[in-house]
Structures are given as structure tokens and as C-alpha cells.
């Protein structure tokens, strides 16, 4: 994946909830949304 540019729209992606439902970023287009990503483990 190419690096994102500051101020550019985020690319669409799909993630699964803990209950197994698929959620797309585009489902929230036009709405206020916060995307939190937690990366754990030592690298």
C-alpha cells in the first residue's frame, strides 16, 4: 500500500467486528467517525 498524503481521503477498507460483521469505511462516508487502530506486541 502506498503512503497516504496528509489531508487526502483515506482509502476504503473492510474490517470485521468482534461479532464477525463486516464494516467498510465507506459505510460512514458523510458521517463523523473515529478510527482507532491498536498495534500491540514488540517489533
Segment 1-43, tens digit of pLDDT: 677 788 888 889 998 988 999 999 899 888 987 877 777 776 6
Give residue 33's pLDDT. 78
Furthest-apart CA atoms within the chain: distance in Å: 36
Distances (CA, A) of 10 to 18, 19, 43: 23, 25, 25
Q: Using CA atoms, how far apart are residues 7 and 14, in angstroms rounded to an integer?
A: 21
CB 16 within 8 A of CB 22: yes
Give residue 3's pLDDT. 78
Give residue 1's pLDDT. 62
Amino acid at each position: 500500500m502506498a503512503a497516504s498524503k496528509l489531508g487526502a481521503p483515506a482509502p476504503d477498507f473492510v474490517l470485521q467486528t468482534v461479532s464477525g460483521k463486516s464494516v467498510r469505511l465507506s459505510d460512514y462516508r458523510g458521517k463523523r467517525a473515529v478510527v482507532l487502530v491498536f498495534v500491540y506486541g514488540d517489533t
